[in-house]
Amino acid sequence: MKVKKSMKNNKVFAVLFLLVLSFVMPKNLKSQMIEVGATASIPYYVGDLNPDKHFSNVKPFFGVVLRYYQNLRWAFRLQYSHYNLQVQPTQEILNQIPEYANEENYKFPIHNRVNDFALLAEFNFFNYWTGSNNNYVTPYIFAGLSAFNYASDNNEANLSMSVPFGAGVKYSIAKGLGVSLEWRMNKTFADDIDNKIDVSGDFDFAYDNDWIGALELSIVYSFNLPKKANCNSGITTR
């Protein structure tokens, strides 16, 4: 039953992803720049069982990205990310709530498989396009919305939403080829990524719902590279 439900949820996400893609992508792409690529990420969980230790119990995972540049400063991004989060309580939690240390009640670490589909808006601090000899590097910030499904060792598949945001650096390494490195946090609307363990009533944590953090490295290939650029009117000048 869990497998069938998870497969059904994945199909729903795929359909929603394609629908969003059809609305977001412009009809005429001749004067714009599109990037497609892959991401490698180091995701981690922050929540009731791990309130303040970032990059704890990490495993590398993957994703794919599609980016559309409206102009040299603004871009929109669709991204799919697959994570396998490892939820391990800190020693402080185990010391103060010893029932969670009993393996008969909970077996740690909890593994939670997450499939995340995000729509993000990016702002480049400097003019940038992949392949430029002059505008080849920029810091950037981003924010958006995402829908994700998740299923731990002891849970059925669930659906939820999150608000992803973060910052990074883009660098053009060759004509048509670019890389980016970013730190991303997802403020989720779920509180059971850690397998429905809630100790917020016992501790004054800043994390009411669970968070998903990730350090991500992307490599992309661009299409429709411009010869000239204009920050105000779009990527190409006429």
How much of the chain exceeds pLDDT 70, in percent? 62
| pLDDT value of residue 30 | 45
The residue among 19 and 128 whose pLDDT is bigger is 128
Domain regions of the chain by residue span: 2-223
Q: How far is residue 111's CA from residue 90's CA, in Å, rounded to a whole number?
A: 16
Q: How far is residue 100's CA from residue 93's CA, in Å, rounded to a whole number?
A: 8
Most confident region among 31-35, 40-44, 208-212 by mean pLDDT: 40-44
User: Mean of the pLDDT values across residues 36-55?
Assistant: 82
Write the single-letter amino acid at 203.
Answer: F
| pLDDT value of residue 199 | 56
The radius of gyration of the chain's CA atoms, rounded to the nearest angstrom, is 20
> In sequence order, what are the residues at sequence separation of 6 or more whose Cβ sits closer than 8 angstroms to the Cβ of residue 154?
110, 195
Residue 153 has pLDDT above 60, yes or no: no
The residue among 59 and 14 whose pLDDT is bigger is 59
- Summarize pLDDT for 158-168 with one digit per residue, the tens: 888 999 999 99
User: Mean of the pLDDT values across residues 217-227?
Assistant: 80
Composition of the chain by helix, strand, coil, percent to 5: 15, 50, 40
The reported pTM is: 0.76
The residue among 104 and 224 whose pLDDT is bigger is 224
| Helix extents (H) in the chain | 2-24, 91-96
Residue 36 has pLDDT above 90, yes or no: yes
Smallest CA-to-CA distance from 154 within 89, 214, 109 is with 109
Q: In a 3-state reduction of DSSP, which class is residue 201?
A: coil
Among 19-28, 92-101, 136-145, which is the least confidently predicted range?
19-28
Q: How far is residue 75's CA from residue 59's CA, in Å, rounded to a whole number?
A: 29
Between the alpha carbon of residue 204 and those of residues 44, 99, 130, 200, 209, the distances in Å are: 21, 19, 46, 6, 13
Residue 223 has pLDDT above 60, yes or no: yes
| pLDDT value of residue 29 | 42
Report residue 182: phi and psi, to 5°: -145, 155
Four-way CATH pick for 2-223: 2.40.160.20, 2.30.110.10, 1.10.760.10, 1.10.10.10:
2.40.160.20
User: Mean of the pLDDT values across residues 103-115?
Assistant: 71
- Summarize pLDDT for 68-78 with one digit per residue, the tens: 998 899 999 99
Residue 135 has pLDDT above 70, yes or no: yes
